[in-house]
Amino acid sequence: MPTFFDDVLPESLKVLRDLSFDLRWSWNHYSDNLWSLINADVWEQTQNPVRVLHLTTAERFLQLSRDKEFMSLLQDVVTERQSYLDQSTWYSQEFPSQPIRHIAYFSMEFGLCEALPLYAGGLGVLAGDYLKTASDLGVPLVGVGLLYQQGYFRQSLGPEGWQRESYLYNDPSELPVSPVLQHDGSWLHIHIELFSRTLRFRVWRAQLGRIALYLLDSNCAANQPADRCITSALYSGGTELRLLQEIALGIGGWRLLEALGIPVDVCHLNEGHAAFATLERIRSYAQKHQLDFWQALWSTRAGNVFTTHTPVAAGFDRYSAGLLGEYVGQYASILGISPTVLMQLGQANPNDVDEPFNMAYLAMRTCAWSNGVSQLHGKVSQRIFQPLFKRWPEREVPVGCVTNGVHVPSWDSRAADQLWTQVLNKQRWSQPFNPADLNKFQTLSDATLTQFAADGRVQLVNYVRARFAAQHQFVDEQTCPLALEADVLTMGFARRFAEYKRPNLLLKNPDRLARLLSNPTHPVQLIVAGKAHPADIQGKQAIQEWYRFIQRPEVNGRVIFIEDYDLALAQQLVQGVDLWLNTPRRPWEACGTSGMKVLVNGGLNLSALDGWWAEAYRPDVGWALGDGLEHGSDYDDRDAEELYDLLENQVIPLFYTRNSQGYAAAWLALVRNSMTSLTSRFSGKRMISDYIAQYYLPAAKATHERQSNNNAVARQLHLWQLNLQLHWHQLSILAVNVSAQPSQLQVQARVFLGDINPDAVAVQLIADPVIASSGVEMPAETHNLLINPHAKDEDSVYEFSGLVKTERISTDFTLRIIPASPYAQIPAENSLIIWQER
């Protein structure tokens, strides 16, 4: 579909349209000079090539088409882009047989750049980094989301420091998105039947290098006025609107993929918001292959991956039976199940009529693979989802972990890019490199690293002064009274102002903080930013507390609050700060990625031992706050004292202690270690490679296995589960005999299986982890016993036995029976269990 600026572009400049709609310019800055030459003012203000083209005159374009230098630059940009698209990728080299056709990545928000503001916080920024990394690596992934008419709110502070929210309209004609057209040239619309009416969603496409992101938009003239507002704003409105948005994302999103004919092997849910996609996948597959709901569930579930980012059960979206039935009761009949059964898919206790429908529970029930976003969060999630796996040990609740990573090219400064190119190579984040080469950072001189940090600090100070001047409507940064300095230890603290993040931990003792900042010999400057949810009064009060602190004369010029925290500010902060502060209350920070973004730029972290830092921290790479245990708010005062002590006695002295050459050698040693050991480890490249190895490849393999031969394996699994459910009550453990031998146990067990085939179960000897008297931790052990085919002494009584090698004593062990199948994920897909009575 043509855009209006097509009419003003000379033929030789038509390619600018394609360049402007490829969001790769948001992380690859090869074309920055091009957009600046076209219209420097618009580019500087918006960083949006589509708006640059919109707001540039036909005369200017004609002039540029006759400018040989500009045309040469344009050709270079076109060539560079085409080279990127054509070159061999990491994925094509690692997996030349292309075992996965497509991965569909569903997310409620995507933080790609400020030109496409479809995010609210860390979840969206992570999703944006995920898509960018997939493009660089050549992973066959497609994104699915919603195009919001307003996006998240813009923040300003009133005269007393109270947060004010403004909602700006996202005009699609000024966004880097294009309508998706059908073969006949008409705009593609996706339909969802609801309440005896049809909802229509327009489809847009955003291009990110090799990756397409498809976005659904309800602002269609054919919809009723209220329905046009379904995609009005991100995380705005009540529970009913949230449910409608999740129906649109999940059901509409999967129908979109079907309409485009995109073959999907793996469906990845970035949080439970999109869990309805798994139901629509079931419905579509059942219809195509003449299966019932449960057979289709077995055929598709192995191809579904659920990533939870929520560190507390109360954070999941829940809906009452009445509201769910009102909106998806009719859909249940289309699925071939009753509304009651649909409700039960989202409940821990199907017999509790008052329990609400939980979107995360639906995701767990319809996905064979689930994971948290850090090692600690994986364990926390096992605890959260324990109610779905009654009688299973918490450690066996089927939630793994892939620690988040960041798309490094989106967050490194130009100086960092040059430095890393010098040490490694230009393609380090998109192609394999020898990890041993990271040790080259240890050879960088103190002078090089000192200048590197100084350049980043100058860039940040200049940016903050300019932004602060605009924020307070000074004529320019020269007239701005802000007195930030480029040779002072600079700390950054920017995040969502939520209570569990403890954004005011530093303000527990404001006098002490003021003395720390205003120290005449070892001064410190602090840049603070962040938004509170519009309904979070406590979060707004925390912002106001910072505002009032900043008014103190003794900290003037040493601490600043920058309004409207966004991706542009985040990029500048992580590229210029010396120290990144993070103070969440463990274990509420599922991962947190902001601190990862300073690594490539030589910044250090001081963080609570939560999320990613709990697994990254070592004394030679940064500083840790807290004892690594879980505490309530009553521990905040103690943590605040420790934070002040760390800053006053370790961080600040280390930064200002110089050797005979004038360099902070001990500080720079930490920088080298951090860059060497952490940057690659917490990159998006590592994250996606983990997802491919641990989840995508096994999921695609299992899906192909189940769906081959007219879904023979899926049908078999369905019958296997039906038989187990029907006869599980018959099982009993009759006798267990254990004889101890040196470093091993001889085990014999007699079990009654009733009408269950012995091949359908596993008989196991299991021991919990314990701390031995010596203080050594004894890990959990699980041993499968083998059936003795000659020991069946009566109907349905079988003997299982085994020689178990272990250093544990016999009383540590208990016998259990669980479902078993070479094709099923246990207990994710069948959580039946029976234990030996002790």
pLDDT surpassing 70 at residue 3: no
Considering 672, 688, 708, which residue would you say is the last residue of a domain?
672
Query: Which residues, 6+ apart, have CB-to-CB distance to 716 below 8 Å?
Result: 823
Distance CA 172, CA 186 (A): 17
> Which H, E and C letters describe 268-335, residue by residue?
EEECHHHCHHHHHHHHHHHHHHCCCHHHHHHHHHHHEEEECCCCCHHHCCEECHHHHHHHHHHHHHHH
User: How sure is the predictor about 794, in pLDDT bands with cuts at 50, 70 and 90?
Assistant: confident
Residue 700 resides in a domain: no
Q: What integer pLDDT is reported at residue 792 of this predicted model?
A: 63
Identify any residues that bridge with 212 across adjacent strands, giving them in sequence order: 142, 207
Please give the single-letter amino acid code of residue 666: A
pLDDT surpassing 90 at residue 174: yes
Distance CA 411, CA 682 (A): 13
Query: Cβ(653)–Cβ(524) under 8 Å?
Result: no
Other beta carbons less than 10 A from residue 455's beta carbon: 18
Residue 690 resides in a domain: no
Average pLDDT over residues 438-450: 95
Query: Cβ(755)–Cβ(796) under 8 Å?
Result: yes
pLDDT surpassing 80 at residue 240: yes
Task: State whether 114 and 80 are in the same domain.
Answer: no
For residue 242 the two structure tokens come to: 């949230």
Considering 379, 401, 423, which residue would you say is the last residue of a domain?
401
Identify any residues that bridge with 835 across adjacent strands, giving them in sequence order: 816
User: How sure is the predictor about 474, in pLDDT bands with cuts at 50, 70 and 90?
Assistant: low
Average pLDDT over residues 150-159: 90
In Å, how far from its chain's centre is CA 558? 33
Residue 423 resides in a domain: no
Task: State whether 237 and 273 are in the same domain.
Answer: yes
pLDDT surpassing 60 at residue 2: no
Task: State whether 505 and 568 are in the same domain.
Answer: yes
* CATH number for the domain that contains residue 805: 2.60.40
Residue length of the chain: 838
The residue among 792, 821, 793, 795 whose CA lies nearest residue 723 is: 821
The residue among 727, 737, 730 whose CA lies nearest residue 799 is: 737
Residue 455 resides in a domain: no
Query: Cβ(816)–Cβ(392) under 8 Å?
Result: no
For residue 438 the two structure tokens come to: 């990271």
Residue 642 resides in a domain: yes
pTM exceeds cut of 0.85: yes
Considering 86, 114, 144, which residue would you say is the last residue of a domain?
86
Task: State whether 73 and 107 are in the same domain.
Answer: no
pLDDT surpassing 80 at residue 7: no
pLDDT surpassing 60 at residue 475: no
Enter the DSSP assignment of 177.
Answer: -
Query: Cβ(603)–Cβ(682) under 8 Å?
Result: no
Residue 221 resides in a domain: yes
Average pLDDT over residues 662-679: 97
What are the start-end ranges of the E strands in 139-277? 141-146, 154-157, 163-166, 178-179, 189-194, 197-208, 211-217, 266-270
pLDDT surpassing 80 at residue 648: yes
Instruction: Determine the structural domain holding residue 811 and report its residue range.
Output: 731-835
For residue 309 the two structure tokens come to: 């980012």
Q: What integer pLDDT is reported at residue 229 of this predicted model?
A: 93
pLDDT (tens digit, 9 = 90+) per residue, 36-87?
Answer: 999 999 999 999 999 999 999 999 999 999 999 999 999 999 999 999 999 9
Phi and psi at residue 117, to the nearest 5°: -80, 80
Q: What integer pLDDT is reported at residue 111 of this predicted model?
A: 96
Q: Judging by beta carbons within 10 Å of its beta carbon (0-12, 13-18, 19+), is residue 102 exposed, middle or buried?
A: middle
Identify any residues that bridge with 181 across adjacent strands, giving them in sequence order: 187
Residue 704 resides in a domain: no
- Average model confidence (pLDDT) for the chain? 94
Enter the DSSP assignment of 375.
Answer: H
Residue 94 resides in a domain: no
Task: State whether 606 and 752 are in the same domain.
Answer: no
Distance CA 187, CA 660 (A): 69
Q: What integer pLDDT is reported at residue 433 of this predicted model?
A: 83
Distance CA 19, CA 50 (A): 9
Query: Cβ(489)–Cβ(523) under 8 Å?
Result: yes
Distance CA 22, CA 29 (A): 12
Rg, Å, the chain Cα set: 29
Task: State whether 762 and 620 are in the same domain.
Answer: no
Q: What integer pLDDT is reported at residue 4 of this predicted model?
A: 57
For residue 749 the two structure tokens come to: 């067990």
Q: What integer pLDDT is reported at residue 236 of this predicted model?
A: 77
% of the chain exceeding 70 in pLDDT = 97
Q: What integer pLDDT is reported at residue 472 of this predicted model?
A: 77
Other beta carbons less than 10 A from residue 732's beta carbon: 15
User: How sure is the predictor about 793, in pLDDT bands with cuts at 50, 70 and 90?
Assistant: low
* CATH number for the domain that contains residue 318: 3.40.50.2000
Cis peptide before 553 (omega within 30 of 0): no
Distance CA 519, CA 746 (A): 70
pLDDT surpassing 70 at residue 5: no
pLDDT (tens digit, 9 = 90+) per residue, 570-608?
Answer: 999 999 999 999 999 999 999 999 999 999 999 999 999
Average pLDDT over residues 437-444: 94
Q: What integer pLDDT is reported at residue 479 of this predicted model?
A: 53
Distance CA 785, CA 764 (A): 6
Who has greater pLDDT, 556 or 451?
Answer: 451
Q: What integer pLDDT is reported at residue 654 of this predicted model?
A: 98
Average pLDDT over residues 474-495: 78
Angle at 490 between CA 484 and CA 493, to 5 degrees: 105
pLDDT (tens digit, 9 = 90+) per residue, 629-640?
Answer: 999 999 999 999
Average pLDDT over residues 15-34: 95
Who has greater pLDDT, 32 or 1?
Answer: 32
By mean pLDDT, which of 325-329, 452-456, 608-612, 655-659 is the weakest?
A: 325-329
Q: What integer pLDDT is reported at residue 476 of this predicted model?
A: 58
For residue 815 the two structure tokens come to: 């016998």
Distance CA 732, CA 753 (A): 7
Count the domains in the chain. 4
Task: State whether 484 and 391 are in the same domain.
Answer: no
Task: State whether 251 and 361 are in the same domain.
Answer: yes
User: How sure is the predictor about 789, in pLDDT bands with cuts at 50, 70 and 90?
Assistant: confident
For residue 319 the two structure tokens come to: 């809906």
Distance CA 467, CA 486 (A): 16
For residue 346 the two structure tokens come to: 């989202």
pLDDT surpassing 80 at residue 477: no
Distance CA 334, CA 321 (A): 18
Distance CA 205, CA 144 (A): 9
Distance CA 737, CA 746 (A): 8
Query: Which residues, 6+ apart, have CB-to-CB distance to 186 below 8 Å?
Result: none
Distance CA 560, CA 493 (A): 10
Q: What integer pLDDT is reported at residue 805 of this predicted model?
A: 94
Distance CA 298, CA 142 (A): 24
Q: What integer pLDDT is reported at residue 470 of this predicted model?
A: 83
Task: State whether 61 and 128 are in the same domain.
Answer: no
Average pLDDT over residues 773-790: 86
Query: Cβ(589)–Cβ(582) under 8 Å?
Result: yes
Task: State whether 254 and 381 are in the same domain.
Answer: yes
Identify any residues that bridge with 143 across adjacent strands, giving them in sequence order: 105, 213
Q: Is 191 left (phi over 0), alpha (psi -120 to 50) or beta?
A: beta
Who has greater pLDDT, 563 or 469?
Answer: 563
Task: State whether 539 and 476 are in the same domain.
Answer: yes
pLDDT surpassing 80 at residue 667: yes
Task: State whether 65 and 166 are in the same domain.
Answer: no
Query: Which residues, 6+ apart, have CB-to-CB distance to 176 below 8 Å?
Result: 20, 21, 22, 23, 48, 49, 50, 115, 116, 206, 207
Indicate the helix (H) or strand (E) that contains 704: helix 697-727
Distance CA 489, CA 603 (A): 11
pLDDT surpassing 60 at residue 514: yes
Other beta carbons less than 10 A from residue 435's beta carbon: 10
pLDDT (tens digit, 9 = 90+) per residue, 260-315?
Answer: 999 999 999 999 999 999 999 999 999 999 999 999 999 999 999 999 999 998 88
